């Protein structure tokens, strides 16, 4: 009896060792979480506690265990940033340089190559949970863009839950009401169109983040038992308006519904991180946590729309200023990426070539990539980032260019606050100037108050012109599709 017990214990121990050994030997799992409209100054890891009761201990802990990036750059809206993340290209190259609005087509096309496509080719099981916003057509949906499944998805933006009430108020035609109904979608396997599960109502807005966390955690638990590595992408919906958190989080921040929404986002992130640890795959899982763009800072109805913080930077969601494109970003890979805080430049476009390199995937060479491979930088083999510039587009126009610490504006950028803050992200715009760009030193002047073009820094214009010329040269063999526009038919 005693010998039998010892044999059982030994067998169980060996089985466990084999299981964890196989997990450690295989390619790393990847879990990528994407917040929606979260500003640089909204997390306590970034704001030194000045946001009072908006505490984010789970995200802060993740930041402390990996590389916390303080110069993480994105594009100025939900759709553009997601396009840049998935394709490794500026969003204008896929015709998605503006947020996809109701009634608008476009989106990812069958010949696009995404993170899902790339990691699938490297032997990964791939899954997407949550917000997509990369095109309404079936061909643009995750299950047709490299992902094996899609849960709790919806085509557009969370503010779609407000459309029905507005159409009822204004007595819109029934056909419009039906067409504009926002459904929660699901695709259990690749191909075809995602099926509607239920209507995404204003009331369900309070529940969706909990359901996303639960679905993501369940997938991690199941997939951790399999031999194949997995890639899970989580499209959170917070703190995008309307900010209606789950009742258990109401009043928790002391900073209104927006603050409560961030507190819930942190808690739900914690659930996913706990699932990774409980499944025993933490050491062999790369966790990336980023925001898609800066926050909505100004609003006509602050409690409903948002009172976000873009930290020390000027601008907000939808315009081309630093506060719109510089936000939270962190990456953890235990034993591989040393815990640190880095102010090196890293963009959302860089994840595709970097993860391709790490996982051994081959990128098609029939298209230009704007992302750069940051593997050596992340793994400490190189002290500096491989990126020194980034172009920002609004529609079909170059709205700004970052080169090192310099920000150059070839045109006057109208902040979203010059129009209607409720529509932040839709109405950032550019206007012609007299022919000379404006230049700001972002390190010396993060609020972009003092134009230094005439202070002995005019030479920066030559660098800016060179960067744009290099981009334009790629258009000869790879022209962009038409940029989105609902005012020019």
pLDDT tens per residue across span 427-484? 566 677 667 899 999 999 999 999 998 888 989 999 999 999 999 999 999 999 988 7
348 and 404 housed in the same domain: no
Residue 417 has pLDDT above 90, yes or no: no
The answer to the question of residue 1 being in a domain is no
Residue 8 has pLDDT above 60, yes or no: no
> Could you give the residue numbers annotated as active site?
78, 133
Asked if residue 317 lies in contact with residue 296, where contact means CB atoms within 8 angstroms, the answer is: yes
pLDDT tens column, 222-268: 999 999 999 999 999 999 988 889 999 999 998 889 999 999 999 99
Give the three-state DSSP class for 56. coil
d(CA 232, CA 32) in angstroms, rounded, equals 6
* Domain stops at, among 388, 415, 430: 388
315 and 359 housed in the same domain: yes
Asked if residue 478 lies in contact with residue 100, where contact means CB atoms within 8 angstroms, the answer is: no
Residue 346 has pLDDT above 90, yes or no: yes
Torsion sign across C-alpha atoms 335, 340, 346, 348: positive
What pLDDT is stored for residue 22 in this prediction? 45
What pLDDT is stored for residue 243 in this prediction? 87
Residue 489 has pLDDT above 80, yes or no: no
d(CA 243, CA 240) in angstroms, rounded, equals 7
Please give the average per-residue pLDDT across 39-66, as a whole number. 95
For residue 86, give Cα distances in angstroms to 91, 108, 134, 425.
10, 10, 10, 20
Domain count, the chain: 2
Residue 413 has pLDDT above 80, yes or no: no
Where in the sequence is the domain holding 414, given as residue range(s)?
A: 390-474
The answer to the question of residue 311 being in a domain is yes
CATH of the domain at 442: 3.30.1120.10
307 and 337 housed in the same domain: yes
d(CA 42, CA 35) in angstroms, rounded, equals 11
* Domain stops at, among 361, 388, 415: 388
What pLDDT is stored for residue 157 in this prediction? 85
Strands 429-431 and 230-235: unpaired
What pLDDT is stored for residue 5 in this prediction? 41
The answer to the question of residue 436 being in a domain is yes
Total Cβ atoms within 10 A of residue 62: 24
**Number of residues that make up the chain:** 489
The answer to the question of residue 486 being in a domain is no
The answer to the question of residue 489 being in a domain is no
93 and 219 housed in the same domain: yes
278 and 347 housed in the same domain: yes
d(CA 446, CA 314) in angstroms, rounded, equals 7
Please give the average per-residue pLDDT across 327-356, as a whole number. 98
Asked if residue 122 lies in contact with residue 359, where contact means CB atoms within 8 angstroms, the answer is: yes
Weakest mean pLDDT among 43-52, 283-292, 300-309, 439-448: 300-309
426 confidence band (pLDDT: 50, 70, 90): low
DSSP secondary structure letters along 204-238:
GGGTHHHHHHHHHHHHHHHHTTSSS-EEEEEE--T
CATH of the domain at 294: 3.40.720.10
Q: Which of 52, 35, 39 is nearest to 310 (CA)?
A: 39
310 and 396 housed in the same domain: no
Q: Which of 97, 120, 79 is nearest to 399 (CA)?
A: 97
Q: Which of 184, 175, 129 is nearest to 156 (CA)?
A: 184
d(CA 436, CA 34) in angstroms, rounded, equals 37
404 and 293 housed in the same domain: no
311 and 402 housed in the same domain: no
407 and 361 housed in the same domain: no
What pLDDT is stored for residue 277 in this prediction? 98
The answer to the question of residue 13 being in a domain is no
Please give the average per-residue pLDDT across 90-119, as a whole number. 90
The answer to the question of residue 202 being in a domain is yes
The answer to the question of residue 483 being in a domain is no
């Amino acid at each position: 009896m005693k010998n039998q017990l010892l044999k059982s214990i030994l067998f169980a121990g060996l089985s466990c060792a084999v299981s964890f050994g196989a997990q450690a030997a295989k390619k790393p799992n990847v879990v990528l979480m994407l917040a929606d409209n979260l500003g640089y100054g909204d997390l306590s890891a970034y704001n030194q506690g000045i946001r009072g009761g908006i505490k984010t201990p789970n995200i802060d802990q993740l930041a402390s265990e990996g590389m916390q990036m303080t110069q993480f750059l994105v594009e100025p809206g939900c759709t553009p940033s997601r396009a840049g993340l998935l394709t490794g290209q500026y969003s204008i190259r896929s015709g998605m340089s503006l947020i996809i609005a109701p009634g608008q087509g476009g989106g990812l096309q069958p010949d696009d190559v995404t993170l899902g496509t790339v990691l699938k080719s490297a032997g990964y099981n791939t899954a997407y949970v949550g917000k997509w916003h990369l095109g309404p057509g079936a061909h643009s949906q995750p299950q047709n863009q490299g992902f094996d499944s899609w849960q709790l998805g919806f085509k557009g933006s969370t503010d779609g839950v407000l459309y029905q009430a507005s159409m009822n108020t204004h007595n819109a035609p029934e056909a419009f009401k039906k067409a504009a109904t926002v459904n929660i979608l699901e695709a259990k396997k690749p191909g075809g169109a995602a099926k509607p599960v239920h209507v995404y109502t204003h009331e369900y807005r309070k529940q969706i983040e909990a359901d996303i966390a639960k679905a993501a955690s369940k997938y991690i638990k199941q997939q951790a038992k399999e031999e194949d590595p997995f890639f899970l992408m989580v499209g959170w919906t917070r703190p995008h308006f309307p900010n209606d958190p789950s009742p258990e989080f109401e009043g928790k921040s002391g900073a209104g519904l927006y603050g409560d929404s961030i507190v819930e986002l942190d808690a739900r992130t914690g659930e996913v991180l706990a699932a990774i640890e409980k499944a025993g795959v933490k050491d062999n899982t790369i966790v990336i946590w980023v925001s898609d763009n800066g926050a909505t800072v100004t609003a006509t109805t602050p409690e409903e729309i948002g009172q976000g913080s873009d930290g020390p930077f000027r601008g907000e969601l939808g315009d081309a200023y630093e506060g719109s494109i510089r936000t939270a970003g962190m990456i953890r890979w235990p034993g591989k990426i040393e815990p640190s805080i880095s102010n090196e430049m890293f963009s959302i476009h860089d994840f595709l070539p970097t993860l391709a390199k790490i996982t051994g995937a081959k990128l098609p060479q029939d298209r230009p990539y704007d992302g750069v491979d940051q593997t050596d930088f992340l793994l400490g083999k190189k002290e500096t980032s491989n990126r020194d510039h980034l172009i920002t587009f609004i529609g079909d126009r170059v709205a700004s260019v970052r080169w090192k610490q310099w920000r150059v504006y070839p045109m006057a950028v109208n902040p979203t606050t010059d129009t209607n803050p409720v529509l932040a992200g839709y109405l950032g715009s550019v206007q012609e100037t007299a022919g000379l760009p404006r230049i700001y030193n972002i390190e010396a002047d993060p609020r972009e108050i003092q134009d230094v073009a005439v202070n002995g820094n005019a030479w920066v214009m030559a660098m800016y012109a060179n960067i744009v010329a290099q981009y334009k040269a790629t258009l000869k063999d790879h022209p962009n599709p038409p940029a989105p526009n609902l005012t020019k038919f």
